[in-house]
Structure 1
Amino acid sequence: MLRRLARRNSPHASSAAAHTWREARYMGRNELVARSGADPFRQERRLRWRDHFSLSENVLFLPHMHAEHDGLRIAQLSDVHVGQATSAIRIRRAVEAVNDEKPDLVFLTGDYVTHSPKPLPRVRELLAGLKGPVFVVLGNHDHWVNGPYLREGFERLGYTVLQNEHRVVHVNGAPVTVLGVDDGRTGRDDVEATFRGAPESGTRLVLTHAPPTVDKLPAHAGLVQFSGHTHGGQFVVRGLTEAIFRRAGQPYISGHYHVNGNQLYVNRGLGFGFGGPYLRRGAEPEVAFFTLRREHAVATAS
């Protein structure tokens, strides 16, 4: 189960109103609440509209994970689309926002370029400097442009690229299994190969670009899948956008889902919007943060 706490950093929001909300009591739904505290983009650092993005806080309840991982922090970036579709300032500010939070793990879930190979060298430049263990999967656009080039570039940064592979990393003295399934949109996803030889219990986190891969995961396995691809619907018109995505075989558009006894989070992505050539409405660019919890904790409002 997930409880969502959204921090929206808008050039139009007043600092007093936007950052002093209190935590909600409701545990059965995804509640939108802003965390108290200083705006990471203070008045003197306000973003232009084309550089804007939102920070979302999400609490994931995983009763079967290792007890040592209660409170573990994850950051996720997705669908950066380096090039004219995304402000370079937005990307660097997003990297800064991730590092400011000091997460235990950082996940990058695909589509670092769009159609042209020209931005390829800038991917490594703009996404350099992420701190902590960084795990990467590729998206459909990456494979269409030059997947091997991107993999090599990320590995030069010290990031771990997973293509139907898994890795075990120790955090707080206990193992986290990170399972990276390759892109399903281009037919490269192989869940069986990804899980082969992996631990069958404990803290297990799945990365893959296309959300529908969640339907191929082992059922009722206590897994969490982190994906992107949809841009949160990109241009959201209630009812119409959902119908179009379902027709295209993309029933999971944005946010948190329960699927076959597992969980899925679909990131709205950082690119394709605000000042670029692509219209974006009702689906703000997103940097997502997650806190893992073993049990529900009822919040007490003061």
Structure 2
Amino acid sequence: MRLRLSRRLEARATLNVAANALAPNRLRPARNELVLRDEPEALRLRWRDYFALNEHLLHVPGLSPEHDGLRVAQLSDVHVGQATSAVRIRRAVEAVNASAPDLVFLTGDYVTHSPKPLPRVRELLAGLRGPVFVVMGNHDHWVNAPYLREGFEQLGYTVLQNEHRVVHVRGAPATVLGVDDGRTGRDDVEATFRGAPTSGTRLVLAHTPPTIEKLPPHQGLVQFSGHTHGGQFVVRGLTEAVFRRAGQPYIRGHYTVRGNQLYVNQGLGFGFGGPYLRRGTQPEVAFFTLRAAPALQPAL
């Protein structure tokens, strides 16, 4: 147990150092903050089942006054199958429900390469409480996105593929815009925004982070993404260069891009006992408390 705890603490320290090195565009902590969270239950998990619970305070221009304090939970890149512990996934679902968020977002890659785990996606991600919104990732399209969509809809979750929905939470409407996967060329931002409200609380789901560059600029939008696994295997000075060369300059955490905001989730799947190693990045469940902020002004 002492060795396992030491490894967890070492991984947490590595994550903090690597995060500073990998995110030069990141929003300043004075505005949007990562809030440390006590994780006694998570620390008792076996190493292969471990994941981080990360709390974020996010200041959003144009947020509806009724949504000041709105709570959002995000799960991404679950990769059901041998690459990810089933215990980790179920504990993550329990952690989301225990936090009682107003909205739950699932941002893609529920499987990896094989269709065999497809039936288990619905089983392992069942039971999320509250309005749940889902977008697809590149691996989902490569395996069987229609099957996954049907399964999520049977659970009562809302799947968005270049679509939007207006949901009433805390007495006011919030617009959730789901852009389909950009890695496989299925993204259509114009179709997603067509007919959508142009003000108030507007939250965007898109599996691939660079979708942020296609959004209408300076609109006070917040995009929630995944795909990168936080860099997966972080080597300072190398990982960022490799990702930029691959067209993925946003690796993890908060960014501001063209007057909108982006959060890149590190993903729940892979690493810690599976066939795909992680280094300097942890599986995570991300929670956000949204706060009102002054409108962003275009740079002169």
What TM-score comes out, normalization by structure 2 length? 0.87
Aligned to 2:22: none
**How far does the alpha carbon of each residue in 1:51-74 deviate from its partner, in whole angstroms, 9 at most, with x for none?**
011011111111311100000000
SS state at 1:41 partner: helix
Give the superposition deviation at 1:42.
Answer: 6.9
Which of 236, 246, 254 is 1:238 aligned to?
236
Aligned to 1:105: 103
SS state at 1:185 partner: coil
Aligned to 1:175: 173
Aligned to 2:84: 86
Give the superposition deviation at 1:28.
Answer: 2.8
Which of 28, 31, 49 is 2:30 aligned to?
28
Answer 1 or 2: higher relative contact order, Cα 8 Å, separation at least 6. Answer: 2
**In 2, Cα distance between the equivalents of 1:40 and 1:292?**
25
SS state at 2:82 partner: coil
SS state at 1:55 partner: strand
- Please give the residue correspondences for 1:87-236 in structure 2 after superposition, counting only pairs within 5 Å: 87-236=85-234
* Structure 2, unpaired ranges of 5+: 10-27, 295-300
Contact 1:151 1:161 in 2 (8 A): yes
Which of 249, 254, 272 is 1:256 aligned to?
254
**In 2, Cα distance between the equivalents of 1:205 and 1:265?**
11
SS state at 1:294 partner: strand
Give the superposition deviation at 1:295.
Answer: 4.0
Give the superposition deviation at 1:165.
Answer: 0.2
| Structure 1 pair 264–32 and aligned structure 2 pair: CA distance change class (3 A) | closer
Give the superposition deviation at 1:94.
Answer: 0.3
Amino acid at match of 1:227: S
**In 2, Cα distance between the equivalents of 1:139 and 1:285?**
17
| Structure 1 pair 161–52 and aligned structure 2 pair: CA distance change class (3 A) | same
SS state at 1:62 partner: strand
**In 1, Cα distance between the equivalents of 2:182 and 2:229?**
16
* Structure 1, unpaired ranges of 5+: 1-9, 15-25, 297-302
Count of matched residue pairs = 273
Contact 2:229 2:281 in 1 (8 A): yes
**In 1, Cα distance between the equivalents of 2:91 and 2:235?**
29
Aligned to 1:41: 41
SS state at 1:92 partner: helix
Stretches of 4+ aligned residues off by more than 2 angstroms: 10-14, 26-33
| Structure 1 pair 74–42 and aligned structure 2 pair: CA distance change class (3 A) | closer
**In 1, Cα distance between the equivalents of 2:69 and 2:35?**
19
SS state at 1:123 partner: helix
**How far does the alpha carbon of each residue in 1:184-219 deviate from its partner, in whole angstroms, 9 at most, with x for none?**
000000000000000000000000100000000000
Contact 1:11 1:48 in 2 (8 A): no
**In 2, Cα distance between the equivalents of 1:120 and 1:154?**
11
SS state at 2:61 partner: coil
**In 2, Cα distance between the equivalents of 1:225 and 1:95?**
22
Contact 2:42 2:51 in 1 (8 A): no
Amino acid at match of 1:28: A
SS state at 1:114 partner: coil
Over aligned residues, Cα RMSD in angstroms?
A: 1.8
What TM-score comes out, normalization by structure 1 length? 0.87
**In 2, Cα distance between the equivalents of 1:218 and 1:294?**
20
**In 2, Cα distance between the equivalents of 1:142 and 1:295?**
35
**In 1, Cα distance between the equivalents of 2:257 and 2:42?**
39
